[in-house]
Structure formats: C-alpha cells, structure tokens
Structure 1
C-alpha cells in the first residue's frame, strides 16, 4: 500500500527464504475480504472452504455453521503470496537482515544485525509475538501462569479428512485448548495454547501430547497422525493491547494486540492493522493518534475472545454450555462475529 501510494519505504525482512511461522492458519471471511481488497483472492490460497466450527469439551461435542465460509492456509503460502504481491506493487525489499534493537527516545532508530542504523520518518513494527529489544511488551501482560504456543503438522490422510472435513475444530481441556484446520495441501495444522503450569506438570511437549490423548479420546485420535516435533513459542501475552502512542511508530499485528488464538482472528488483525496504518500514514504522516484509534477497534474482539478463553480453560464451564450451543447454533455465530475486527478504516 505504501508503494502504491508513492511513499518512500523499505521492507526489512529477517528471513532470506519464506518459512512457515507458528500460526493457527485460519482465515475468516472478514480477513478474506481484506485480502481481496489488496488483490489476493481466496482461491489463490486454498480452493477448499471451512464452513463449520466443531467444539469438544468434557466428552461433549457441538457443531455450528460459520457465518460465512473461511479457509485454512499455511503461513508459508500466505507469506509467499504477500511478499510477491508487494514486490509486484513496487515495494523495496531487503531480505536476510534482522532488526536487533529499536530506540524510541526521539525519532525511532533501528539497529540491524549488520551494524547499520536506520532513522526513518515512520516505523511499522511487524515482529509478531517476538519482541524487539527496546520495545518490549510489559511482563505483566503475560500473567503469573503465561501461555505457551505449540504447533504440530499432520500430513494429509483420508482418515483426517473424514474426522475433520470442512470444519475448524476446537478441543478444550484444563488450562488450554487445541485448534485443528486443514490447509491448502490437505495437511492438518494443529495449534495448542497451553498454560505453562500444565506443560510443567507433564514434563515436556511429547509427554503433554500423550496425556492429552488419554484425557481426550477425540483429540488423541487426531494426535496419532503427528509426523513432526512440535514448534513452540513461550510467554504469549493473550489479551494485551497497545494503548500508548509514539509519534512515528505503528505497531502492527500481535504488536498491536494479541487475541486468544481460539478466536481465529490473529491474521485478520495483522492484515487489518497493516492496511489501516498504511492508509493513516499516507493521509496524516507519522501521527501518533493511529495506535490509540486501532486499540479501540481491538477492544471488543480481544475482550470477548479473552473472556471465552478464560471460560474455556475450565472445561466444566464449556461442557455445561455445549448442549445450548448444539440446540441453538446461532449463538456460536454471534460469538464468531463478535470476535472479528471491525471493517472501519
């Protein structure tokens, strides 16, 4: 968007080759609309659609249609298309350079791992759940029992197709939950958000998976298809929003706010924040007001998702509510809509 708007810019990307970031891989209908506005169609990411959500808790299961079709997609596929689209739009890109520190004492100054210093008029920070030295999120956002993110990949398999099909699944358990969705190549992406205390009780991720498989037969049936070790990220500050502003600094995606992953709106927030910040900069320059405006847009979806996460981590609560969701699936659709970021510009 900056390239199309004629703004001088530089995209600094730490990886030389596009990997597959730890991510739930779910893109809601709202996120697909944002991508469409940028010129990337849903079919370029995945021709198959996710049309239902299936919830498991306490031996019970409930299912409901999503408000609109969504997709599952790997971050490798999404990021590859976005990078190519940026280059085709005229973006200036430098790959294989990592930002090591940022100084915001005055105008933002960026220090890279090759010893260079960059002092831009504006800085768009998109480092995901990883903090950059000089701009940490507060330790208090993690809480006393912080969340850990785990991701496992399953190769495509007919049994998984039959079990999961065109649904996104959420398996709720004590102090955590797992989400499953099929990706563009038929493989399954499984992401778990687990409290650190739960992992410590098990000992390690492998032991945790084994224990969860025993506790939750439906999840255990799916975990039996895992073909690779789990990727992990620690101390995820779910529920946090950046409400403070600094002239020239635009914090995007998880650096703007971290929505609990069960909402399936993390990539939606990342894309919406990038679009909104680029438009704000092209219109108003490095105005500090954008961050606070965007924080207000995040208040409802993150607040609703955080309340649901708190309830979901005590399975007796959702297990008691699942019969109501099964008999009144429109309630699930209301929740799904409430956790989408608004379309405001």
Structure 2
C-alpha cells in the first residue's frame, strides 16, 4: 500500500515523538504497530530530567501524567550503600502511561495509525500482511529488530533484560518514595523505582552467563540474587513469584548506527543502545524522534544520512561513559571502591549522571 507521507515502524516513544513533530508541520505520518493499543513495554519506567524536558517539548508533562517524582539515587553493592542527589528531579512513569499519552498526542496532531505486524524491510518497503511504502521509512521498533535491518550482536556474553512489577505496599512506598535504587551484582544490576500507580518497577540487566548459572530460569535467578544480596531480597516481598516476569534477549548495548541510506532513519534503540543503568533510554528515544522529524522536514528523505551522523555524534559520549560505568558496576572488586568514592567526593555521582545524558543542540531541551 502506497502512503504519501512517511512511514514510522513502531508507535513507542521514539516513533510517536517523531510523528508528533511531523504531523504538527503538516506532514501525514503513518504509524505502523502490531498492537492497536499501547501496552506496558519491558524497557523503561524511568524518565531522567533531560527526558522530561524533551517530553515537555511535545506538550506533555510527567507531573500531569501522575508520574512519581524522584530526587535521589541509592546505590547498593553487597552490604554497602551510598546515596546521592540527582542533578534535577526525575520521574517514575510506566511505559503504559507514557506510550498511551504519546500515541494519543500523535493522533490528535494528525498522524494515522495502522495495526500491522511488519515481518521484514526490503528496499525501504515494509512487508507484513500488506506491503507498505511511503516517502521515507523511520525505524522505531525498540529492542526488537526487523528482518532485513538487523543490528550486529558480537558480545560473547550478551546482556539480557528482565522486568518484574510488584504490587503497591506500605513498605515499598516508605523505602522508595522519591528514590531510584540501583543494586549491583557480579555480572549485572537491577534498577527499582516506583511508578505512577504505586507499583514498583524492577528492571534487571544481566549477563547471559548469569542466567545460565540459574539453569536458564529467570525466576530462579531472582531467588539466587535475593539470597546473595539481602538489600535486593528485601525488595522482593512475599508473593513476588506470582507477578509476571518479562524478558528480552541479547541487548546490543553500546550499538550506534553511524550510517544509513537516503530514506531510512533509525530511531531510539534502533539508533543507539545505552546501558540501562544510565536511565537515558527514553531520552535517546524522544530526542532521536524529534531530530529525525526535523531533518526529514528540512531535507526530505535525502537527509537521513545527515541525521544519522548527527545523532551518532551526540550519542557517542554518553554511551561511552555509560559503558564504562556498566563495566565497573558489574565488577565486585570495584563496586566497594565506587560506593566509597560517592561518599568521599561530593558531586561525583551527579557528574557521572550528567555525562550520560544526550544533548542535541537543535532540540529545545537543554
């Protein structure tokens, strides 16, 4: 099916941010997504201060969406603990709430949505139940690759993503109000933050070898981590085994798309994958969507290579810092020293957090 405007594969944060900017400028973007309604995607649940400003540029406010305000970071490594203020308030917000709000804003601005499971892309044509072709193709499928446009995976021990959502409780509310926690393990880490509905979102990034050591069972791995790390175990309240446990395999952290062909724009995780401990995945998604739309509006399909180069240049520094932080965070020999440094050097954690934010001069989110 021929569409006169641009095609956007994926109606998540990156795709919808792009669609909003395009639609406001009079373009008629078509979002292709496998689901008619936005679900609660595995990755996300945290908006940094920079991500919040990018969201505000789309006339959406975390506060208006009921997001949980976060002002401090708490680090755990074994029995050690360190606390640090965030450079500016951040937010805990579920992907269900965020994606639905962005999707509604995109449709209200004039974008269209078609339910389609795109199986592959061939010569800028998206193939599903129908063949779709538009004036440009914007790939915003998140962690999931589309056949024909794979991202390289070369890690010998790749990262896996796990997500658990815990029901609201008085204990979790008392311990996590205003806080995001980062629990460090050998070969992985877990981030915990309250969401707008009072649930606690627990996202883990672990090496495949760590999961293999638990017999390939995510639930068994969580049980092992809870026994080995008391502070993490304290967050897994009785009955957590009944909660759904979602997973995604082989996440290509530190991937950056540096080149593309005219007409093909890579957005979000299809453009740059930052280690999740940085908490900047949503920032890259929102920033890349807006930047791609600006390039497309200014230079048409031919502007795709310039866009990809600009995004790669902006993403490279924060990804490098986040990758180094991830390597340190997963090393049990370094973890105690890192937590001690946070205590001894005021502002060190804030500096590292600031260095993992993506900054694009063309966007009003400085």
Calculate the TM-score normalised by the size of structure 1.
0.95
**In structure 2, what is the equivalent of residue 320 of structure 1?**
337
Contact 1:126 1:252 in 2 (8 A): yes
The answer to whether the 8 Å contact 1:147/1:238 transfers is yes
Partner of 1:236: 251
Task: Could you tell me which runs of 5 or more consecutive residues in structure 2 were left unpaired when the two chains were aligned.
Answer: 1-20
Separation in structure 2 between the aligned mates of residue 245 and residue 297 of structure 1, nearest angstrom? 16
Q: Are residue 71 (structure 1) and residue 84 (structure 2) matched?
A: no
Give the whole-Å Cα distance in 2 for the aligned partners of 1:79 and 1:201. Answer: 35
1:341 aligned partner? 358
Unaligned runs of 5+ in 1: none
Alignment match, 2:153: 139
Moved more, 129-138 or 11-20: 11-20
Residue 331 of structure 1 pairs with residue 348 of structure 2: yes
Runs of 4+ in 1 over 4 A off after TM superposition: none
Larger CA deviation: 66-75 vs 54-63: 54-63
Which secondary structure state, in structure 2, belongs to the residue aligned with residue 305 of structure 1? Answer: helix
The alignment's C-alpha RMSD in Å is 1.1
Task: List per-residue Cα deviations over 1:23-61 (Å, max 9, x = no partner).
Answer: 231101111111111110121223531000011113211
Aligned mate of 2:116, from 97, 107, 111: 97
Q: CA deviation at 1:109?
A: 1.1
Report what 2:289 is aligned to. 274
- Give the match for residue 263 of structure 1: 278
Give runs of aligned pairs for residues 134-213 of structure 1, distance below 5 A: 134-140=148-154, 143-203=155-215, 204-213=217-226
Whole-Å Cα distance in 1 between the matches of residues 199 and 63 of structure 2?
Answer: 17
Q: CA deviation at 1:97?
A: 1.0
Structure 1 distance, partners of 2:329, 2:268, is: 24
Aligned 8 A contact 2:157 2:208 in 1: yes
1:24/1:190 contact within 8 Å kept: no
Larger deviation, residues 225-234 vs 308-317: 225-234
The corresponding residue for 1:19 is 39
Structure 1 position 37 matched with structure 2 position 54: no
Counterparts in 2 of 1:43-62, with a 5 A limit?
A: 43-62=63-82
Give the equivalent residue in structure 2 for 1:299. Answer: 316
Q: Retained in 1: the 8 A contact 2:67–2:196? A: yes
Query: Whole-Å Cα distance in 2 between the matches of residues 152 and 321 of structure 1?
Result: 27
8 Å CA contact 2:141–2:270 kept in 1: the answer is: yes
Q: Does the 8 Å CA contact 2:153/2:250 hold for their aligned counterparts?
A: no
